[in-house]
Amino acid sequence: MKDDNPRLLLLETATDVCSVAVSHGEAVLAQRESIEGMQHARLITRFIEEVMADAGWSLAHLDGVAVSKGPGSYTALRIGASAAKGICYALDKPLVAVSTLQALAWASWQTTGLDEAFFVPMIDARRMDVYAAVYGPHGTELEAPRPLTLAPDTFDYLLGQGKPVVFAGNGAPKYRELLAHPLARFLDLKCSATHLAALARQRFAERAFESLAHFTPEYIKPPHITTPRKKLL
């Protein structure tokens, strides 16, 4: 194995999509994905077994595990992080973490081929709220992930710069309802473990490994906890 061509298990659980893949370098060899909605705990172990079998590998063949670190669903991110850390602990493999938004931005750049554009991935955060960030080509971060409440003029400062602004992710459809602008482009692009491959390979080559004892997903906001309407006896 070379650091620039690692064999990685890729886990994406930041949203309602449960997605698992294996990659060799940037080549994705197998994947499993479900959009059933918040079935991560039920599906993730099975998906891991299936993609490893499809690739013809055992877990021992892996050089490491890459996990989408958020922002996104608190519960779903915990499931992905727990699965990744458990495998790394058991097999003494390194863990790399990839920003969910950066992975979407990289995929948006790959999909459009635009080298003069802003890429704005959005993760749904209930009502008109999203987690968003701004990237350039190659997934270069220009503005860090943050929570936003969407309004028609939220990204006027980008649209006014004369370059296309590409919106993607499961939060983007909400903004599409608010915005009509000739430079705005919306992609039907959701989170997928396959989007992690290139960035995970880069982080592995840089040896940007996470501490298994201290790694936690990038929640940004605390979990949304509701109080049951019925009182317990």
Model's pTM, two decimal places?
Answer: 0.92
Do 30 and 85 belong together in one domain? yes
Is 166 among the domain residues? yes
The residue segments making up the domain with residue 178 are: 102-186
The enclosing domain of 95 has a CATH number of 3.30.420.40
Q: Is the pLDDT of residue 223 over 80?
A: no
pLDDT tens per residue across span 71-116:
999 999 999 999 999 999 999 999 999 999 999 999 999 999 999 9
Alpha helices in the chain (DSSP H): 40-55, 74-91, 100-112, 156-159, 172-176, 197-205
Mean pLDDT (whole number) for 174-200: 96
Instruction: Report how many domains make up the chain.
Output: 2
- Strands 27-34 and 165-168, bridge-based pairing: unpaired
pLDDT of residue 36: 82
pLDDT tens per residue across span 28-68:
999 999 988 778 999 999 999 999 999 999 999 999 999 99
E strands present in the chain = 7-12, 18-24, 27-34, 64-68, 95-98, 118-124, 129-135, 141-149, 165-168, 184-186
Do 53 and 159 belong together in one domain? no
CA angle at 137 for the pair 136 and 141, rounded to the nearest 5°? 40
Listed range (25-29, 118-122, 172-176, 229-233) with the worst mean pLDDT: 229-233
